[in-house]
Chains A and B, each alone.
Chain A
């Protein structure tokens, strides 16, 4: 039941954002109120961008202040120990280069997700564990599609003649090589939408995953699905004047706000919905699970050397502990113990004899 509450709550929030933004933009267009459009299309995105940058930095610094005094790297292969035992270079890295390799493989190919397993109870009863690749497949498709979409948007941020502009045009030609429809269908947009939808469906159909899914899991997925959908709709169905869009964005990036109201009025409402949802994503990012973008680099289970079989690691903060051994205790209380009739290991005479030769030396 709680599962569905989380999903329904996320849907209500997303629905509210979509209807609210589209409604405000539509109303502003209808009543010729450029102030509202500038708010949605310029002010909110700029504030969200600041919140994103500052939020991410604060979160990373907060993590950086957490001490990790001891290697807690998890091994996924044979760690280095005796010379005749073959060590696994990337899954239990014992050199800095190995750690860099492990991190690169983790960041670029998501090897942790590749190891995803599923547990099933069969008749018998028999418990079965099996490899499940779907999380890894959808995550790969999702992240690389998102990266491509992100880079493609630099056509709104750069001018003709710059190197980035040329690179983006090259990428877009690759992305649209199917030459399907006009404007061309860009594969990355549909892969992004499809993979995000499959990740959502995985959450909903897999009982174990559904059980641990909360509103903070559904909300970012639904938000990204909405962003992808609004972008695709804007390109192919509910069109906006793309030149007017770039004029507005270029004014914003150059902080050139002269006549911004007129520029904003020239763009259809779909653009304002799209950019508002992106702003929500940006502002929400630093306080959400999406911070794994920075967190993956700060994972002590991945970015430390797996050399605890090679070297003995001692907590550098260990201070000399004050101990009170029985010998000291007896030395302190021997006379009173003897008076009370308690057994002692050394008598008074013995301690004096033992002390005497030491003094002579």
Chain B
């Protein structure tokens, strides 16, 4: 092979770049699967879930986005839950009334999947009760 020094250097860089998903994981072992915790007093005291439709894990961000537009732009503050009751469309006051454990609920999956939600650009995390 001609210019083998240069070509082999190039090939080593190529393999290092494209095999980096494997290389970066050498010795680490697969990380623990995140388990969002439902262990809050409000959820424990509740019988059936009242607000959560199916596939919330995949779709909650769309719901929150629609809520924001509805509240901020249309001044429409309530939406029916699956139990037919009207709920206030509020992340801090409604969602997090039950899911009061942001670190164990929201953050676990978000951190795992490299999701950096911009909720907290405006919202503050509700203070822990008691």
Complex-state Cα separation, A158 to B24, whole angstroms = 7
Instruction: Judge whether A181 and B29 touch: CB under 8 Å.
Output: no
Given A172-B114, A242-B113, A64 and B14 contact (CB-CB distance below 8 Å): no
Complex-state Cα separation, A66 to B2, whole angstroms = 8
Given A60-B11, A165-B114, A68 and B61 contact (CB-CB distance below 8 Å): no
Instruction: Judge whether B21 and A65 touch: CB under 8 Å.
Output: no
Among candidates B4, B15, B28, residue contacting A159 with C-beta atoms closer than 8 Å: B28
**What per-residue 1/0 map shows which CB atoms of A159-189 lie under 8 Å from chain B?**
1101011001100110000010111000000
Complex-state Cα separation, A319 to B30, whole angstroms = 61
Given A56-B14, A155-B114, A251-B30, 14 extra CB contacts under 8 A = A64-B2, A64-B3, A64-B7, A157-B20, A160-B112, A160-B114, A169-B116, A173-B116, A182-B61, A241-B57, A247-B30, A247-B33, A250-B31, A297-B10
Q: Which residue of A lies closest to B68 (CB)?
A: A182
Instruction: Judge whether A157 and B57 touch: CB under 8 Å.
Output: no
Instruction: Judge whether A243 and B113 touch: CB under 8 Å.
Output: yes
Does B46 have its Cβ within 8 Å of any Cβ on chain A?
Answer: no
Q: How far in angstroms is the closest Cβ of chain A from B125? A: 19
What residues of chain A lie closer than 8 Å to B2, measured between beta carbons? 64-68
Q: Which size bracket describes the interface of B in this complex?
A: 35 or more
What residues of chain B lie closer than 8 Å to A68, measured between beta carbons? 2
Interface of chain A, main secondary structure? helix
Does A246 have its Cβ within 8 Å of any Cβ on chain B?
Answer: yes
Does B1 have its Cβ within 8 Å of any Cβ on chain A?
Answer: yes
What residues of chain A lie closer than 8 Å to B114, measured between beta carbons? 155, 160, 165, 168-169, 172
Does B51 have its Cβ within 8 Å of any Cβ on chain A?
Answer: no
**What per-residue 1/0 map shows which CB atoms of A182-199 lie under 8 Å from chain B?**
110000000000000000
Complex-state Cα separation, A284 to B21, whole angstroms = 20
Q: Which residue of A lies closest to B31 (CB)?
A: A159
What residues of chain B lie closer than 8 Å to A294, measured between beta carbons? 10, 14
Q: Which residue of B lies closest to A254 (CB)?
A: B30
What residues of chain B lie closer than 8 Å to A61, measured between beta carbons? 1, 7, 11
Instruction: Judge whether B10 and A179 touch: CB under 8 Å.
Output: no
Does A53 have its Cβ within 8 Å of any Cβ on chain B?
Answer: yes
Does B106 have its Cβ within 8 Å of any Cβ on chain A?
Answer: no
Q: How far in angstroms is the closest Cβ of chain A from B12? A: 10
**What per-residue 1/0 map shows which CB atoms of A242-257 lie under 8 Å from chain B?**
1100110011011010
Does A154 have its Cβ within 8 Å of any Cβ on chain B?
Answer: yes
The list of the 6 closest CB pairs from A to B, nearest first, reads A155-B114, A157-B21, A182-B65, A182-B61, A239-B58, A64-B1
Complex-state Cα separation, A181 to B4, whole angstroms = 50
What residues of chain B lie closer than 8 Å to A250, measured between beta carbons? 25, 30-31
What residues of chain A lie closer than 8 Å to B11, measured between beta carbons? 57, 60-61
**What per-residue 1/0 map shows which CB atoms of A116-158 lie under 8 Å from chain B?**
0000000000000000000000000000000000000011011
Instruction: Judge whether A52 and B7 touch: CB under 8 Å.
Output: no
Q: Which residue of B lies closest to A159 (CB)?
A: B31
Identify which of residues 66-102 in chain B touch chain A, using a CB-to-CB cut-off of 8 Å. Answer: none
What residues of chain A lie closer than 8 Å to B29, measured between beta carbons? 254, 256
Instruction: Judge whether A179 and B118 touch: CB under 8 Å.
Output: yes
Q: Which residue of A lies closest to B7 (CB)?
A: A64
What residues of chain A lie closer than 8 Å to B65, measured between beta carbons? 181-182
Identify which of residues 3-38 in chain B touch chain A, using a CB-to-CB cut-off of 8 Å. Answer: 3-4, 7, 10-11, 14-15, 18-22, 24-25, 28-31, 33-34
